[in-house]
Structure 1
Amino acid sequence: MDIWANYRKILHVDMDAFFASVEQRDDPSLMGKPVVVGGRPNSRGVVSAASYEARKYGIHSAMPIAEASRRCPFATFLPVNAQKYREVSLQIRQIFLAYTPMVEPLSLDEAFLDVTGSTSLFGPVDTIALSIKQRIQQELSLTASVGIACNKFLAKLASDIKKPNGFVVVQPDKIQEFLDPLPVERIWGVGEKTAVQLHNYNIKTVRDLRHLELNFLTQLFGTLGSQLYQLAQGIDDRPVESDRVVKSIGREMTFAKDIADHDALETTLLKLAVDVGRSLRKEMLRGKTVTLKVRYDDFRTLSRSRTLLRATDLEDVIYHEACSLLGEVSLKQPIRLIGVTLHNLTDQLENQLSLFEEPQLERENLTKVLDLVKEKYGEKSITRARLL
């Protein structure tokens, strides 16, 4: 009897050190060496990805590049090549789609797949997962770690257990055998503070957590307690959502040197607004809420937001609002990072513009023409004079 017969068949595919692995693949001289993607050693950025050779030195994502350089000065430091990683991610996505339309990307390098309806065509769930893993290796010369389970929570845990190049199956009848020995920090929602609280009650493993009463957990953590109670028993009813809704589109820039010059900041805002507007139009979306993000030289971060009367995908509008929000921010202290994000997105066109809004219509038509030029001749074929 097939033990999977009455269960969903979910995969979590997670690329191993994705950005760094792509760079090592494309430059064989980097194979087996520590590689850090995020910027040059003297840059102000943070680590986006580190090869497993670099991780041996304690380097991890979100670490300041300067600290990574201190820990491993002989590593190869590379800038982020976002376009290349997106292209490789799309190639991986095509492999997924060959087996199921139920693909939920979480980022460029990981996704959930529901292959419940695919087994009649491609065989058992572990056969499908192994085929995907092998195709990624053979066609793209990259490795992926794959977790297989009856729900998303367990599949994601499984993909992380034996990285890199892992392949872990959690059988539906062995869920507690898999979960119980794991440290309680492996449960979604258990951060540092929650872990400390649990440790105070001598709760160290998932088994310990599972033996707690629901009422006790909800009294201690509120709604999070109910979630912890469910997950400790391997219960997660969330479906794989193949058409995930984009909640926001934004861009930000970390400066090589801290900036307090208003004109220079506005020029950067224009560049970011152009990128955000272009991305919105590619996704056929418009945003109604503009958010400005600023990080000072002491890492203090603040944001300012404004909601428009009408959703927009025009960089001129985004730029104007971002500059207006910048006027609300103190420039007495130098700025390390600045960013612009559009929230409250919609794919619906609003009512017909009135006669008094003809300039807006003209700008939309002009923007369409500029987009066509960029599609045909490249993103850098035409640009704003201020950005030259």
Structure 2
Amino acid sequence: MTDAGPTTASPAAGSARSLCRDCGRRVAPPRGRCPACGSPRLVTHPDLDRLTIAHVDCDAFFASVEKRDNPALADVPVIVGGGTRGVVSTCCYIARIHGVRSAMPMFKALEACPEAVVIRPDMAKYSAVGRQIRERMLALTPLVEPLSIDEAFLDLSGTERLHQASPAEVMARFAREIERDIGVTVSVGLAPNKFLAKIASELDKPRGFAVIGPAEARGFLATRPVGVIWGVGKVFQARLAADGLTTIGQLQAMDPADLIRRYGSMGIRLARLCQGEDDRQVTPSRPAKSVSAETTFSTDLSKRADLRPVLRDLSEKVSARLKAADLAGRSVTLKLKTAQFRLITRSRQLADPTQLADRIFRAGDDLLADAAWGEAFRLIGIGVGDLVAGTQADPADLIDEGSGRRARAEEAMDRVREKFGKAAVETGLVHAARQDRSRS
């Protein structure tokens, strides 16, 4: 198991040949550096050539893309996130040294690191880079299970003959090529199952490559906090702590029947994962459950007249994402967060699946009329769920005679925007709101 750093090896590692992560050579241990290229980044483990489940996680992905595109930011703390009232989407490792963390309120992040450069998220750019990396993964194995835009599981079982290399060698080469060709870095965890692979990928960030074998898994996990276990969030951690259970080792010492009796189906998961056992397969197809967009205001808004243009703009973003993914949805959900951080949600089922901004906005606007009664809001969002294929989207509406005309107008707008950009054409509602803001 490589845990504390790139050259750390388990006590039993003496029988294995080390792998140089920088040149791909295999060298006989013990070695401090690769005799071929001089790199200290050697991985040594007795199971190195037998493990086939990998977890890949990009390092501070959004911030890494921004630094790649602007070399002047290379040695500067970078925060990607919203305005002073938003939250941190991600931050580079320099900013993390100052105490900045993902999901931290922006005002707290800037208090911790006032010299940071703050960049608004560019999801279109990050998605494009994410797709490039995903294509490289699929060239290694068809068994790729995405978890988010910047991380995925890979099952490389049976690929040795195809690549003429072990999964460890393949993943080390993959990490080098992503850094060289795409300009961002990744960390890799290699293990016998998904649970251990995900833990391993976090051990040596950034540019990490860590290995956890089956023989050492139980002892390795024993000192870890229970929050490391997949599915154990803050609420359940508090429940376990109230029962005196704070480390995985304490769970390992319990009778599995007692865990199941205390915690039901979650007890079954605890009993298996605390021993390092995980039989979940790497599943390539994991369809999206919903598509949404939201924004946090720089100042609270309470008037529906001020909220509606923002809702229209967000509806267009959701619509564009649905169309790009060839999806449609049967339900629309409105999300509002009050100045006191109280969350309000309203949902509506549609008669037919849609991917049109017009229908999304109209449903959301009706929900807004029901939910917005003069209270001040700091956030608004709109989402479409119950997703189906785009071929089922928006059949002719025999009741609403104007729906066909609006759909054709939206198609024309899409064609103009595809050629000249989103700002080339706007609805009157959004345009008037932008003019009002520019005058204020």
TM-score (norm 1): 0.92
Name which of structure 1's ranges 179-188 and 16-25 shifts more when overlaid on structure 2: 179-188
> Which one of the candidate residues 85, 93, 96 is aligned to 1:44?
85
Deviation at 1:354, TM superposition (A): 6.7
Q: Confirm whether residue 378 of structure 1 aligns to residue 399 of structure 2.
A: no
Tell me the residue number matched to 1:113: 154
Equivalent runs, 1:312-327 vs 2, <5 Å: 312-327=354-369
Deviation at 1:372, TM superposition (A): 2.9
Structure 2 counterpart of 1:169, one-letter code: V
Query: Measured at CA, do residues 56 and 3 of structure 1 come closer, stay the same or move farther in structure 2, by a change above 3 Å?
Result: closer
1: CA distance between counterparts of 2:371 and 2:241? 42
Equivalent runs, 1:343-358 vs 2, <5 Å: 343-347=385-389, 349=392, 353=396, 356=399
Name which of structure 1's ranges 118-127 and 180-189 shifts more when overlaid on structure 2: 180-189
Structure 1 counterpart of 2:212, one-letter code: V
Q: Is the 8 A contact 2:51 2:190 kept in 1?
A: no
Cα displacement string for residues 54-91 of structure 1 (whole angstroms, at most 9, x for unaligned residues):
11222111111011111111122221122221121122
Query: Measured at CA, do residues 358 and 263 of structure 1 come closer, stay the same or move farther in structure 2, by a change above 3 Å?
Result: closer
Deviation at 1:267, TM superposition (A): 0.7
Deviation at 1:352, TM superposition (A): 6.2
Q: Is the 8 A contact 1:285 1:345 kept in 2?
A: yes
Structure 2 counterpart of 1:35, one-letter code: V
1: CA distance between counterparts of 2:66 and 2:357? 32
Tell me the residue number matched to 1:203: 245
Query: Measured at CA, do residues 211 and 140 of structure 1 come closer, stay the same or move farther in structure 2, by a change above 3 Å?
Result: same
Structure 2 counterpart of 1:75, one-letter code: A
Q: Is the 8 A contact 2:352 2:394 kept in 1?
A: no
Structure 2 counterpart of 1:333, one-letter code: E
Query: Measured at CA, do residues 52 and 3 of structure 1 come closer, stay the same or move farther in structure 2, by a change above 3 Å?
Result: closer
Name which of structure 1's ranges 250-259 and 168-177 shifts more when overlaid on structure 2: 168-177
**Count of aligned positions:** 385
Return 5+ residue gaps in structure 1 as ranges: none
Query: Measured at CA, do residues 375 and 177 of structure 1 come closer, stay the same or move farther in structure 2, by a change above 3 Å?
Result: same
Q: Is the 8 A contact 1:18 1:109 kept in 2?
A: yes
Q: Confirm whether residue 131 of structure 1 aligns to residue 173 of structure 2.
A: yes
Structure 2 counterpart of 1:23, one-letter code: E
Query: Measured at CA, do residues 51 and 182 of structure 1 come closer, stay the same or move farther in structure 2, by a change above 3 Å?
Result: same
Tell me the residue number matched to 1:341: 383
2: CA distance between counterparts of 1:117 and 1:272? 45
Q: Is the 8 A contact 1:152 1:236 kept in 2?
A: yes
Tell me the residue number matched to 1:72: 113
> Which one of the candidate residues 254, 257, 260 is aligned to 2:302?
260
2: CA distance between counterparts of 1:72 and 1:289? 41
| SS of equivalent residue, structure 2 residue 65 | helix
Tell me the residue number matched to 1:31: 74
Tell me the residue number matched to 1:194: 236
Identity %: 38
Query: Measured at CA, do residues 67 and 237 of structure 1 come closer, stay the same or move farther in structure 2, by a change above 3 Å?
Result: same
Q: Is the 8 A contact 1:289 1:342 kept in 2?
A: yes
| SS of equivalent residue, structure 1 residue 323 | helix
Tell me the residue number matched to 2:53: 10
| SS of equivalent residue, structure 2 residue 277 | coil
Structure 1 counterpart of 2:240, one-letter code: L
Q: Confirm whether residue 228 of structure 1 aligns to residue 252 of structure 2.
A: no
2: CA distance between counterparts of 1:370 and 1:355? 23
2: CA distance between counterparts of 1:113 and 1:366? 43
Q: Is the 8 A contact 1:189 1:228 kept in 2?
A: no
Query: Measured at CA, do residues 256 and 196 of structure 1 come closer, stay the same or move farther in structure 2, by a change above 3 Å?
Result: closer
Q: Is the 8 A contact 2:332 2:348 kept in 1?
A: yes
2: CA distance between counterparts of 1:109 and 1:387? 32
Structure 2 counterpart of 1:165, one-letter code: R
Deviation at 1:171, TM superposition (A): 2.3
| SS of equivalent residue, structure 1 residue 380 | helix
Tell me the residue number matched to 1:328: 370
Larger radius of gyration: 2
Query: Measured at CA, do residues 149 and 62 of structure 1 come closer, stay the same or move farther in structure 2, by a change above 3 Å?
Result: same
Query: Measured at CA, do residues 225 and 242 of structure 1 come closer, stay the same or move farther in structure 2, by a change above 3 Å?
Result: same
Deviation at 1:241, TM superposition (A): 2.1
Structure 1 counterpart of 2:176, one-letter code: Q
Name which of structure 1's ranges 88-97 and 194-203 shifts more when overlaid on structure 2: 194-203
Deviation at 1:176, TM superposition (A): 2.1
Q: Confirm whether residue 292 of structure 1 aligns to residue 334 of structure 2.
A: yes
2: CA distance between counterparts of 1:218 and 1:94? 41
> Which one of the candidate residues 367, 371, 374 is aligned to 2:410?
367
2: CA distance between counterparts of 1:100 and 1:196? 39
Query: Measured at CA, do residues 361 and 118 of structure 1 come closer, stay the same or move farther in structure 2, by a change above 3 Å?
Result: farther
Q: Is the 8 A contact 2:327 2:387 kept in 1?
A: yes
Structure 2 counterpart of 1:279, one-letter code: R
Deviation at 1:202, TM superposition (A): 4.4
Query: Measured at CA, do residues 350 and 194 of structure 1 come closer, stay the same or move farther in structure 2, by a change above 3 Å?
Result: closer
Q: Is the 8 A contact 1:179 1:207 kept in 2?
A: yes
Deviation at 1:351, TM superposition (A): 10
Deviation at 1:203, TM superposition (A): 3.3
Structure 2 counterpart of 1:241, one-letter code: T
Deviation at 1:247, TM superposition (A): 0.4
> Which one of the candidate residues 119, 143, 151 is aligned to 2:193?
151
Q: How well do the aligned residues superpose, as a CA RMSD in angstroms?
A: 2.4
Return 5+ residue gaps in structure 2 as ranges: 1-15, 17-45, 432-440
Q: Is the 8 A contact 1:292 1:305 kept in 2?
A: yes
